[in-house]
Structure 1
Amino acid sequence: MTSSAATTPTAATPATADTDVLRYTAFTSDPSGGNPAGVVLDAAGLDEQQMLAIAAEVGYSETAFVTAWDTRQRRFTLRYFSPLAEVAFCGHATVAVSVELAERIGTGELVFDTPAGEIRVGTVADGNGAVRATLTSVPTRSRPALDAEVDATLAALGWARADLDAALPPHVAFGGNEHLVLAAGSRARLAELGYDFEALADVMRQYGWTTVHLVWRESDDRFHARDPFPVGGVVEDPATGAAAAAFGGYLRTLGLLPASGVVAIRQGEDMGRPSDLTVQAGPEDARVRVSGHAVPVTG
């Protein structure tokens, strides 16, 4: 994540006044679930401060801006902004953009140039006519977290070492951004998420993490997740595609992928915005595929 001060638009001249902002929610087929994302398809004339101001006004965890188009090649340039800063990669906003573009130019493969690197997204219409998007991440990696990193994070979360699942060791995992992966030892521990917002934000800024990816293993191929995102000005993300990609790399590194290579992640349930992410990873390929739907936000 790059650091940048937020620009607050005035009431008289809102940042979105002359900008068409589409609103989607990703990793769900229900407008009341998933993770909302702003989508600006024509951002070629916007500078960084304008995009940051629009993202702050929209107020979602991320807004994606398409800054260049090549419709013939189905290739686009994307930038992502939280209400507080630019982010190198955002999975749920990429899915939202992909679904909107598929509706406009037809399903098939899309290619996005992002600050994190090239992201390819396959789009298909399912049996109900809804568009499902599958993004392929940049190469993932994962390393054991340092004791100092874990201890500082647990203190901000109000968790103890005894709250963790010893079979899923803490790691710092990368799938376009870095995320600290912590596995709760019980579903109840994951559900009781109340943390020191400023303290966790300070820890995450110190180590350069985009979210803390908190998980609980229901089975070898099904996990529940929560993602605090205080460095973006958001208490929690209801669905985090970038963290899901990083988590797929984490499982690959530890040799914990199921035989199918497919893992389901349920996120957002504890905050009333249930989301479903499908992760597919292989033992030889460092890239991870993350799939889900996106639908327009209504009301």
Structure 2
Amino acid sequence: MEILRYVAFSADRAGGNPAGVVLDATGADEVKMLATAAEVGYSETAFVVPSDDNGTLVVRYFSPLAEVPFCGHATIATAVAYAHRHGPGRLLLHTKAGPVPVTTAIDTDGAVTASLESVAPRTASISEADLAELLKALRWSVEDLDPALPPRAAYAGAWHPVIAAAERARLADLDYDMPALTALMHRKDWTTVDLVWRESHTEFHARNPFPPGGVVEDPATGAAAAALGGYLRELQLIALPATFTVHQGADMGRPSTISVSVPEEAGTGIGVTGTAVLI
């Protein structure tokens, strides 16, 4: 297999979130995909199986430790890599989470930008016991939370608990119990924890621990950004339609920028836009 390496959600190779991309994984089984993802070592590697329909692709995502149903930054990287090979346009990705349309376009400066539409988002409550266990693993307290953004599990292809900090300083200080958080997330089927701080109604800052994937922290998480958009809409915490930016990765030296668009109609997919560059 030819393995491409891209950085997603940044125009700078020193920023963003690296992803492996295999544009033709025909014939590769799960064992081979997982072994390849472990060898690549990024938080996700996307494996594409082209179909007879032009622009329709089957995509599977693997971290170094496990398969995940959907990954935003690897989707952006895959779409940009496909555009580099075949030209920009519209793709339909068949993921384990469901169909994900993606559109690529070339900017005036020649950069390729990709915009995906997530599967229908939804949220679920987090029990008091699970929240207490989560905060303990994060080494956070209830007093650290923003009461205007209540804790919820949010989904837009994968599940992410949304935990909002009242202060930017709390978000900047990430020092969690990795074994404890890993066990809880495996039990609850959470992919990453979406730790956020709301600077304004159009600017959010995020950090995403990803211990189930064998990664301490993700520098850009498109799936969590989409889930956050669905969370804000469902809980009526943002004026609709909305567009906001998620800044992620700065605290770990890999700044990333994710643009999120939230349609007004309930149940519709959330848009996530970003660029990607070949490493």
- How high is the TM-score relative to the length of structure 2? 0.98
SS at match of 2:134: helix
Q: RMSD over aligned Cα, in angstroms?
A: 1.0
| Residue 197 of structure 2, aligned match among 216, 223, 235 | 216
Residue 237 of structure 2 is aligned to residue 256 of structure 1: yes
| Residue 122 of structure 2, aligned match among 125, 138, 141 | 141
What displacement does 1:233 show? 0.3
Aligned length: 278
Residue 265 of structure 2 is aligned to residue 270 of structure 1: no
Match of 1:39 in 2: 21
Residues 252-291 of structure 1, C-alpha deviations (whole Å, 9 max, x = no match): 0111223551010000000000000000012214210000
| Residue 60 of structure 2, aligned match among 35, 60, 79 | 79
Conserved 8 A contact 2:100-2:116: yes
Match of 2:153 in 1: 172
> Which structure 2 residues correspond to residues 1-299 of structure 1 after superposition, within 5 A?
19-70=1-52, 73-286=54-267, 287-297=269-279
2: CA distance between counterparts of 1:120 and 1:260?
A: 20
2: CA distance between counterparts of 1:199 and 1:233?
A: 13
Letter paired with 2:143: A
Letter paired with 2:207: R
* Seq. identity, %: 55
Residues 100-141 of structure 1, C-alpha deviations (whole Å, 9 max, x = no match): 111111111111001110000011111111010000000000
2: CA distance between counterparts of 1:119 and 1:84?
A: 24
SS at match of 2:34: helix
Structure 1: 5+ residue stretches without partners: 1-18
Structure 2: 5+ residue stretches without partners: none
Letter paired with 2:39: E
2: CA distance between counterparts of 1:280 and 1:267?
A: 17
SS at match of 1:89: coil
Conserved 8 A contact 2:88-2:104: yes
What displacement does 1:41 show? 1.1
1: CA distance between counterparts of 2:239 and 2:63?
A: 34
Conserved 8 A contact 2:118-2:157: yes
Conserved 8 A contact 1:221-1:258: no
